[in-house]
Structure 1
Amino acid sequence: MSNVSVSPAAVKVPSPTRILIASGLGNLFDSMDVLLFSYILVSLGRNWHLNPGVMGMLGSLALVGMAIGSAFAGSLADRFGRRTMFMLTLLLYSIASGLSGFATTVGILMLLRFLTGLGLGGELPVSTTYVLESSQDVTRGRRVVFLQMFWAFGSLVAALIAFFVIPSVGWRAAFWICAIPALYTIFLRIGLPETPRYRNLPKRLTLRQSFAKTWSKGMSRRSAVTWTLWFTMNYAYYGLFTWLPTMMTHKGYSLVHSFGYVLIMTLAQVPGYLTAAWLVEKWGRKKTLVIAIFLSALASLGFGFATSTGTLILFGLLISYFMLGAWAATYLFSVEQFPTAARATGMGWSAGFGRIGGVLAPTLTGWLLGAKVGFPIIFGIFFAVLLVGALIVGWFGLETKGKQLE
């Protein structure tokens, strides 16, 4: 691997803080939408009298859009630039999310959730690639983790909106709240330049060439590991967090109490990211990732067997802490596996394939809940899936700590 030299005069570089905030706010609104919809789903299911199967489909459709958006936005970012796709993906999300607040039928809402997913899915791998390539080698690891930490802030905002807005104002207002601030983030990003590494590429690959490169000799093992990693992480994360508020109501808690308890659980996400930011530089990306996934699996199993309010909150906190730490390491581990010419493609297609797990999990979990399957079995499935992901990365994954980017 070798460094790409960039003349300071060639690119006017904004402050690292501005790059991180402008990129991170997009992740914040992505997170806010994804997590807020899990709360909206509870209210929507009661108001529109939806069965768990339909609710599961609504939860999955945004993930279908995210799968397609991740893959193609990543490839397009390698062809036309990170900055261009950086802007377009967030614009699509903002419009579709705002219009969702005006939906009058399940069919219309499904379409808008799909379009929202296209923007959400595309924004995440592109913003991660942008921040990585705009950072120095000595700081890139923690800067990527700090970028992902905005996801935790979005989760907290979503929990606060759900607790204070949805019960009193209604679910439509929640969608409108998502759309308005996202438009401001587009304004912040207008002045950001293309990344130095991308600007200095001697050749821009076509969509077909960039995809083929990620599965070429020397790259296929990395792609196989990251695709598997993203599938297991998405299955567990979206299966757990999409249904967590609903699962609390199934355990006998009221809507307000369910939202309040999930809000408490969400508080552990920021410490999870901060811990990961320190460990990825001390232990390395791979070791941090494997341990965080394994502990997430144990916490999930514990939640499935929990019966009291105290143990539910305890294991919910542990799920949030370890799972979000694992996610931070997942993004960093994945984006560093690929060369600059195909980095966004490799990241995007890994994330896109992973969304299949995110689509399956809410639907399957909804079906299992509807079939009255016990919580130990449902959370036992999450445990098994996460365990597979930890073993694959631990056995076949390649460490990138201390290595220069290609």
Structure 2
Amino acid sequence: MKALEVNQIIDNARFTRFHWMVMCLCALLLVFDGYDLFIYGAVLPVLMKEWGLSPVQAGALGSYALFGMMFGAFIFGPLADRIGRKKGVAISFVLFSVSTFLSGFATTPSEFGVYRFIAGLGCGGLMPNAVALMNEYAPKRLRSTLVAIMFSGYSLGGVLCAGLGIYMLPRFGWQSMFFAAALPLVLLPLILWKLPESVGFLLRQGRTDKAREMLTNVAPDVHLGADVQLVQPDAKGAGVPVFDLLRQERAMGTFMIWLSFFCCLLMVYALGSWLPKLMANAGYSLGSSLSFLLALNFGGVVGAIAGGWLGDRFSLPKVVVSFFTVGTISIALLGFKSPMPVLYLLIAMAGATTIGTQILLYANTAQFYPLAIRSTGLGWASGIGRTGAIVGPLLGGWLMAAALPLQMNFFVFAVPGLVAALAMGFFILWYRRPQRAVIPAAPVSAPVASRSQA
């Protein structure tokens, strides 16, 4: 019987309609996820006025969903390695869609916070599983690009949120923004029908025939008859302890990834939650302030796609360091009075190098861990990062309450970018040491593949 390694089949496959379908479905899910996550920043000025919230209270309320995301990432990442990524994605999608819809019926901040926490559980579970699924099926030469394009759906969700906010908030009130989140549920049957299950999970479950069917879609020109035995070197049992993330010389990389996620998500959610309010305080109208949020997320789309393209041609961690550096500078410059075209450009650059870099971090993390612990690795990186996402809105509230000059607010928001750039720079140096031997999931242009070029 002939043996074929699953990873090699996928790595060497040409781009097919199957890859296109997986990328589009995951991107569509992340559009809805991104809409849910940026909705609070869009309605924040209205909520503060209607419920009489102080800046500190508003920051704490914005963190409820992010607390949920942290727990959701910790729960659904490892859970998907046991029940399958398709089920993990579907459960997460239903959870955040229903909870966001119910948020529109909230009459008190406490009730609103409970719904936002539950919605956060779903959002936190969807992201790592969608990234892991796309990364598993993507050919090696296109892996970073496809993950980045898929994840740009997250930024498109922010663009959709800001665009709808400009139109709907003055006409129908803040509740309408949350009611609209129920509409994507009509696509649930399509997702359950078309979204594929992880090949690694199918093999661990003994569903070899279904795994062959998936791989035939991935690589139609490869013979996968009954005489072919499918081999997956990094496959293991269903139990996936988090300590596996620290074994086989992965500990330092894991800690640096966690620190980078923390800093990146702090910047993303500080800007996403407080940019409209900061600009409103600076004298811009609500419509103009929401247009800044639109520019931030549009920049995230461009940054994600450009970063993924660069990551497939150069070292992905190097691209991440460059993006963090540019993000630090552009955010710091936002506090200075600039002509409107320059201001929009700086905001778009900030979005490209914060939201876009978050997406690159997910791609890098997926390539760093072997398949059997990939969802766990992504889930824990995302969960640790969510502590930064929680701190972001709270930090913005504290800064607003302190009534600091506009420049100081943006200077504080920029500092985590510098820390993250240093963390990823150390990540590169650590895994280029010749005496170390870390084996990533596939020999792609990420953590360790470029060591020989040092």
CA distance in 2, matches of 1:94, 1:308: 39
CA distance in 2, matches of 1:315, 1:4: 41
- Given that 1:63 and 1:117 are in contact with CA atoms closer than 8 Å, whether structure 2 keeps it comes out as yes
Corresponding position: 1:116 with 2:119: yes
What residue number does 2:443 align with? Answer: 403
Query: Which contiguous aligned blocks of 4+ residues in structure 1 show a shift greater than 4 angstroms?
Result: 398-402
- Given that 1:76 and 1:85 are in contact with CA atoms closer than 8 Å, whether structure 2 keeps it comes out as yes
The counterpart of 1:23, out of the listed 22, 26, 31, is 26
- Given that 1:100 and 1:113 are in contact with CA atoms closer than 8 Å, whether structure 2 keeps it comes out as yes
The counterpart of 2:181, out of the listed 175, 178, 182, is 178
Structure 2 spans left out of the alignment, 5+ residues: 11-15, 205-234, 433-439, 449-454
- Percent of residue pairs identical: 27
Corresponding position: 1:243 with 2:274: yes
- Given that 1:155 and 1:266 are in contact with CA atoms closer than 8 Å, whether structure 2 keeps it comes out as yes
What residue number does 1:233 align with? Answer: 264
- Given that 1:68 and 1:121 are in contact with CA atoms closer than 8 Å, whether structure 2 keeps it comes out as yes
CA distance in 1, matches of 2:22, 2:348: 31
**Which one has a bigger Cα radius of gyration?**
2
- Given that 2:367 and 2:442 are in contact with CA atoms closer than 8 Å, whether structure 1 keeps it comes out as no
- Given that 2:267 and 2:417 are in contact with CA atoms closer than 8 Å, whether structure 1 keeps it comes out as yes
Q: Which residue identity lines up with residue 403 of structure 1 in the other structure? A: P
The equivalences for 1:237-276 within 5 A come to: 237-276=268-307
Deviation, 1:368, is 1.2
Aligned length: 398
Deviation, 1:5, is 6.0
Q: 1:142 to 1:186 in 2, by over 3 A?
A: farther
TM-score (norm 2): 0.83
What residue number does 1:298 align with? Answer: 329
- Given that 1:68 and 1:118 are in contact with CA atoms closer than 8 Å, whether structure 2 keeps it comes out as yes
What residue number does 2:253 align with? Answer: 222
Deviation, 1:268, is 2.6
What residue number does 2:435 align with? Answer: none
Corresponding position: 1:40 with 2:43: yes
Q: Select between 191-200 and 151-160 the one with higher mean Cα deviation.
A: 191-200
What residue number does 2:57 align with? Answer: 54
Deviation, 1:325, is 2.9
CA distance in 1, matches of 2:393, 2:339: 24
CA distance in 1, matches of 2:19, 2:151: 15
Deviation, 1:341, is 1.2
TM-score (norm 1): 0.92
Corresponding position: 1:345 with 2:376: yes
- Given that 1:304 and 1:378 are in contact with CA atoms closer than 8 Å, whether structure 2 keeps it comes out as yes
Corresponding position: 1:194 with 2:234: no
- Given that 1:91 and 1:186 are in contact with CA atoms closer than 8 Å, whether structure 2 keeps it comes out as no
The counterpart of 2:423, out of the listed 368, 392, 396, is 392
Q: Which residue identity lines up with residue 398 of structure 2 in the other structure? A: W
CA distance in 1, matches of 2:95, 2:298: 29
- Given that 1:94 and 1:183 are in contact with CA atoms closer than 8 Å, whether structure 2 keeps it comes out as no
- Given that 1:29 and 1:182 are in contact with CA atoms closer than 8 Å, whether structure 2 keeps it comes out as no
Deviation, 1:48, is 1.6
Deviation, 1:185, is 4.5
Q: Select between 109-118 and 182-191 the one with higher mean Cα deviation.
A: 182-191
The counterpart of 1:161, out of the listed 159, 164, 174, is 164
- Given that 1:22 and 1:189 are in contact with CA atoms closer than 8 Å, whether structure 2 keeps it comes out as no
Deviation, 1:294, is 0.7
The counterpart of 1:78, out of the listed 81, 106, 130, is 81
CA distance in 2, matches of 1:401, 1:310: 43
Partner-residue secondary structure (3-state), 2:150: helix
1:65-104 deviations in whole A, cap 9, x for unaligned?
A: 0000011110101122111101111110111011111111
- Given that 2:143 and 2:312 are in contact with CA atoms closer than 8 Å, whether structure 1 keeps it comes out as no
- Given that 2:367 and 2:441 are in contact with CA atoms closer than 8 Å, whether structure 1 keeps it comes out as no
Q: 1:240 to 1:186 in 2, by over 3 A?
A: farther
CA distance in 2, matches of 1:211, 1:264: 38
Deviation, 1:205, is 3.2
CA distance in 2, matches of 1:381, 1:166: 30
Q: Which residue identity lines up with residue 203 of structure 1 in the other structure? A: K
1:176-202 deviations in whole A, cap 9, x for unaligned?
A: 112211441453233323122332345
Deviation, 1:402, is 7.2
CA distance in 2, matches of 1:266, 1:354: 19
Q: 1:270 to 1:203 in 2, by over 3 A?
A: closer
CA distance in 2, matches of 1:358, 1:254: 26
CA distance in 1, matches of 2:22, 2:341: 41
1:209-246 deviations in whole A, cap 9, x for unaligned?
A: 43111122412122111111110101111111210001
- Given that 1:53 and 1:363 are in contact with CA atoms closer than 8 Å, whether structure 2 keeps it comes out as yes
The counterpart of 2:236, out of the listed 203, 225, 237, is 203
CA distance in 2, matches of 1:306, 1:200: 58
CA distance in 2, matches of 1:5, 1:235: 37
Deviation, 1:296, is 0.4
The equivalences for 1:92-103 within 5 A come to: 92-103=95-106
Deviation, 1:310, is 4.3
Deviation, 1:260, is 2.8
CA distance in 2, matches of 1:325, 1:92: 25
What residue number does 2:437 align with? Answer: none
Partner-residue secondary structure (3-state), 1:129: helix
CA distance in 2, matches of 1:14, 1:260: 36
Q: 1:259 to 1:37 in 2, by over 3 A?
A: same
